[in-house]
Structure 1
Amino acid sequence: MFDTREEVLSLTKRLVSMESIVNTAGEKVIARSLYELISSFDYFEKNPDQVMLEQTINDHRERYNVLCFVKGTKKKSDRTVILFGHMDTVGVDDFNQLKELAFLPNELMEAFGEQDLPSPAQEHLTSGEWLFGRGALDMKSGLASHLYLMRYYSMHPDQLEGNLVFVSECDEEDGSNGILSSLKTLKRWKKEQQFEYVAAINADFVSSLYEGDENRYVYKGTVGKLLPSFFITGHESHVGAAFDGLDPNFLAAELTRQIEYNPELSNEALGETTIPPVSLKQTDLKPSYTVQTALSAYVYYNFFIHSWSPKDVLEKLKEHATIAFGNALELYEQRYRLFCEISGHPYRELPWKTRVMTYEEMEHQLIALHGAPFINHMHEFKEELAVDPDLDTRMFAARVVEEAWKWMDDKSPAMILFYSSLYSPRIEMSGKTEDERVLLSALDEAVEKIQPHYKHPIVTKNFFPYISDMSFLAMSDDLEGIEAVQNNNPSWGEKHFVDYQDIRDLNVPVINIGPYGMDAHAKLERLEIKYSMEIVPNLTNEVILNILNQPNE
């Protein structure tokens, strides 16, 4: 095994000290610093065209990726492994009075030493075997592990069969503009350098899955992530005549009750099951207080998938929305009848029926009804809306649906289902291709070799359970699944666009071997040094060698 601990630890602290909060100028600073560091390696001083600082494309912010490659000389081979990871972090407001120390691990841990931390953070702090700091776990230590290997093989290309590509991408914590931009360069290198991409290794953080879990997980493939959203209309009324109308918030509440935490919407594949959907936003769209009930409401949910496609999710959620709408009307009627009985008011039949449709279905209706005037109006509306840089894709999509709804002839209450954000595709690694089989075998062999050097079990699982840039290097969805995303995202082509063909063109099997720790995205973010600085780089190295030592066909 390589003696990696001190060098990877030093690199980690150096990277953590570079404040690189997503969507701030810090992303530019760390990219330039990392580029200068890599460029200073002897190999890249002699081969400056093999390292690059590249600005993202189709991005409203100025930020950069850092990419480089090392060509092995032990045996000529086009086989190439991609090492990648992100250099941005989430913010530090949660550190409160310690914000200034969030990116200075030594000083931060000294300050923590004067506080009474909750268990087990207190034990970790006093052990000397854990490193605290924003980005230390997520995921600058993983990036440092990759950097160690790139530096080593740049010094010893004679020990490498094939090639190593390194990608340090920005914007993973928000819109993944970094990795999506890097795909263009990876495709160009594939052609110019004749690279045969056979595997990709991410180094994002891993953590325990339940209290008392001692396993250190390595992941094959990744969960997919969608943001299904609903624009919900009711029938307005004065609050003094509440039963003259139907409050869209009432419909939204019943919809959330039907969807949130519902195991029927957990997706099982390869023996592993996703967490069910959870609400990330629920609001009405009233701009200010009035005594009129809201005209519309807006909700969206996190939705993880393993084997379902975006089209499958739309179909399932349409069914559940139909159930929720029916339940809401039934409950409304029960309460209305009871109110009429106790108040002496006459009862009238409710005029509303269950009504659920996708955005694509509504748009087809409106095009059939209004043709070119509707199409032109919506195009101009989107262009005007896109001028506002502070309007995120989720609210942009909601405003587009709200505007389209104004063109509906039948404005009776309805739920409109759509996607309002980036789709991070699922990757299902089942060994269906030769490259997948080689990677899976290489991983198993590496774990078997490295396990004796570490006391906790190193366990492989089939789906990385968090959102990550792994999603953008391979494609398990078919064309129909991707079209469901494009046709049902109202911001597509204006505020939001992903060239999924770039992903399909690369289609590299991907795994995650990352640092182990706790409380990512929280003030007590920390990593275990032994696993993160010693096991991770050596385990990654074994996988690389196992893959690149495969005979050329």
Structure 2
Amino acid sequence: MKVNRTEMEQLVKDLISHASVVNTQGEREMAEVLYRYIVELPYFQQRPEQVLLTRTYHDYQERYNVIAYVRGSAVQSSETVILMGHFDTVGMDDYGAWQGQATDPDQLKHIIREYQLPPEVQAHAHSEDWLFGRGSVDMKSGVASHLYVLKHFAQHPEELQGNILVVLTSDEEDSSHGIRSALKDLRRIKEKEGFAFIAAINSDYTSARYSGDENRYIYVGTVGKLLPTFFIAGKETHVGQVFEGFDPNLIISELTREIDYNPLLCDELYGEWTLPPVSLKQTDLKPFYDVQTPLTAFAYYNLFVHSWSPDQVLEKLKAHGLRAFERAIETYQERYELYGKLSGTRFDPPPIQPRVYTFEEYYQRVKAQHGSTFERTIGDFCQHVVEQQTLDIRSYACRVVEQVWKWDKVKEPVMIVFYSNLYIPRVAVSEQTAEGSRLIRAIGQAVEQVQPDCPKPIVMKKFYPYISDMSYMALSDGEQSIHTYEQNVPVWGERYRLNVEDIRAINVPVCNIGPYGFDAHKKFERLELTYSLEIVPLLTYSVIRHLLAAA
């Protein structure tokens, strides 16, 4: 396959020109643009049934995915390679006064050149090999690469001993409604067409891993992400009687100190380490100002995984939570004692014992106190919350835990750890499996073939380090781990389920061969053209050819 650089660049600019910010009408319009592009190709004009515009399921937004497939004609085979990517982007408020030009790469580049900028950005702004704009690297260029490969195989199905299927999805940047919905469509197509999916190639963005890094990366597998969350109840009091209460904010502060940037919570597999966890929200739940201290607090943390399962993470975080709770009690008592010495008042601290539970443990504890009445009431509460439709899932989960806590007959300080977001599963691709070995070997052959045309080293690594829809193409966790996760997500409703059955039905090794650039999700988002528009499509094409080579 020869790549027409001019055609590719124009395709990327055309896609960028259609704003497709997640959770906006533009997202829906982008799906229609992609559908029209594909259905107008001669191959699909003769086979319109092989292009689908499908609405997402259990979604409060009206949005769509686009799916198209080409049957190879060299030898009839059920083996099928999935090409996947998302067409939504983050918002454009970060562009400020340039917001109107964020989807016009040529104008935006001209404007950027007029400002005093960091040296690297300035150099790229004056280079013909860089293109700026929202979605340029994340990931309109990756979508363009897949479209180019799809068009080539639509023109040359005789090159395939098997089939390719392209699935372009909405809502990757928020809650992955797109890919989670597309799984159901893929299952139906698989059954209808008799496809056997053997691998999935994503084309999300790649970037330098450190300052001065010249490598261009291909990733096999992807990082998983959990959102461990803590609900903490203390004891309220009047600020004029401060030591008669126990501030949950003190516990939560110690908790963040225990978890934030902690290398002991980095996960290693195949010699690669996750980044440490970091706080994403920390707040008490007091709704207004008065001189009563807060009673409850809430915090959640980003946590990446390579090998740890959800149940292992809960056990680790219970231990860290216990340490934080104990330190908070020690601090409280030490300061109470010192205040007593300074003021000449009596030191009489209330007895406080650190209590830390997973949500499942705590729910069963309270259920044992109240029985079926409690279960019915919590179920009715969840149903009511779900009917509100727009409540943030993390706030929803917190409200459910709070309702359970209100039923607890023991009104002592407590910490409850749970998950308040959909699990974004880890996918570990092993050379010890036939499917994993086949994909890794095909990538190695493709790199060997294409590397002479690329001046930068192309390096294969495990675990795509950014969140991506690849996580929903396979599961590396066992049934018990997933069950534990589900029992510790205190939300109810189809929208909030991890559709394990759909993932298991696809269950293919994944890799990411994506465009190269910088500053995804930032106003200087930009794309290196030569690698992204020429090398990436060639690599993708070559991997497919090695997986589905004609005899």
Aligned to 2:250: 250
In 2, are the aligned partners of 1:518 and 1:525 still within 8 Å (CA)?
yes
User: Take 1:484 and 1:12, find their aligned partners in 2: how far apart are those partners?
Assistant: 43
Asked if residue 86 in structure 1 is aligned to residue 74 in structure 2, the reply is no
Query: Residues 295 and 550 of structure 1: is their aligned pair in 2 closer, same or farther, counting only changes over 3 Å?
Result: farther
Residues 187 and 506 in structure 2, CA contact (< 8 A), matched pair in contact too: yes
Name 1:72's counterpart in structure 2.
Answer: 72
Give the corresponding residue for 2:480.
Answer: 480
Cα distance in 2 for partners of 1:361, 1:432 equals 37
Partner amino acid for 1:282? Answer: Q
Q: After alignment, is 445-454 or 506-515 more displaced? A: 445-454
Q: SS of the residue aligned with 1:80?
A: strand
1:156 is matched with 156
2-structure distance, mates of 1:230, 1:495: 22
List per-residue Cα deviations over 1:502-549 (Å, max 9, x = no partner): 101210110000000000000000010011001100011110000112
- Quote how far apart the aligned CAs of 1:332 are: 1.2
| Structure 2 residue aligned with 1:45 | 45
Distance in 2 (alpha carbons) for counterparts of 1:185 and 1:413:
47
Give the Cα separation in 2 of the matches to 1:52 and 1:493.
27
**Aligned equivalent of 1:392:** 392
Which residue of the partner structure matches residue 534 of structure 2? 534
Pick which of 394-403 and 6-15 moved more: 6-15
In the other structure, the counterpart of 1:461 is 461
Alignment of 1:364-513 (within 5 A): 364-493=364-493, 496-513=496-513
| CA-to-aligned-CA distance 1:437-468 (integer Å, 9 cap, x gap) | 11000001111111111111111110000100
1:115 is the counterpart of 2:110: no
Within a 5 Å distance, the mapping from 1:3-402 to structure 2 comes to 3-402=3-402
**Bigger mean CA offset, 132-141 vs 7-16:** 7-16
Structure 1, unaligned runs of 5 or more: none
Equivalent-residue separation in structure 1 for 2:4 and 2:433 (angstroms): 33
User: 1:459, 1:240 → 2: CA distance?
Assistant: 63
Verify the 8 A CA contact 2:386 2:492 in the aligned structure 1: no
Q: Secondary structure at the match of 1:213?
A: coil
Q: Match of 1:279, SS?
A: strand
Displacement of 1:550: 8.3
Distance in structure 2 (CA, Å) of the matches to 1:4 and 1:414: 63
The size of the alignment, in residue pairs, is 551
Distance 1:91 1:479 in 2: 37
Distance in 1, Cα, partners of 2:294 & 2:149: 57
Q: CA RMSD in A?
A: 1.1
**Unpaired segments of 5 or more residues in structure 2?**
none
- Contact 2:159 2:550 survives alignment (8 Å): no
Shift in Å at residue 494 of structure 1?
A: 6.0
Q: 1:386 is paired with a residue of what secondary structure?
A: helix
Structure 1 runs (4+) deviating above 3 angstroms are none
Specify the code of the residue in structure 2 equivalent to 1:43. Answer: Y
**Range with bigger deviation, 93-102 or 384-393:** 384-393
Residue pair 1:73, 1:161 contacting (<8 A) in 2 also? yes
Alpha-carbon shift at residue 495 of structure 1 (Å) = 5.4
The residue identity in structure 1 corresponding to 2:321 is A
Task: Give secondary structure in 2 for the equivalent of 1:462.
Answer: strand
Contact 1:255 1:321 in 2 (8 A): yes
Q: Is the Cα–Cα contact under 8 Å of residues 333 and 350 in structure 1 kept in the other structure?
A: no
What secondary structure is seen at the aligned counterpart in 2 of 1:459? strand
Per-residue deviation, residues 275-308 of structure 1 (Å, max 9, x unmatched): 0110000001111111111110000000000000
2:75–2:550 Cα contact (<8 Å) kept: no
For residue 231 of structure 1, report the CA deviation from its aligned partner. 0.4
Structure 2 CA distance, aligned partners of 1:198 and 1:42? 27
Deviation at 1:350? 3.1
Q: Alignment partner of 1:127: what SS?
A: coil
> 2:223–2:464: 8 Å Cα contact kept in structure 1?
yes
**The residue matched to 1:330 in structure 2 has which SS?**
helix
Partner of 1:546: 546
| One-letter identity of the residue aligned with 1:532 | S
Taking structure 1 as reference, are residues 202 and 149 closer, same or farther at Cα in structure 2, changes over 3 Å only? same
CA distance in 1, matches of 2:158, 2:483: 46
Q: CA deviation at 1:248?
A: 0.5
Contact 2:239 2:292 in 1 (8 A): yes
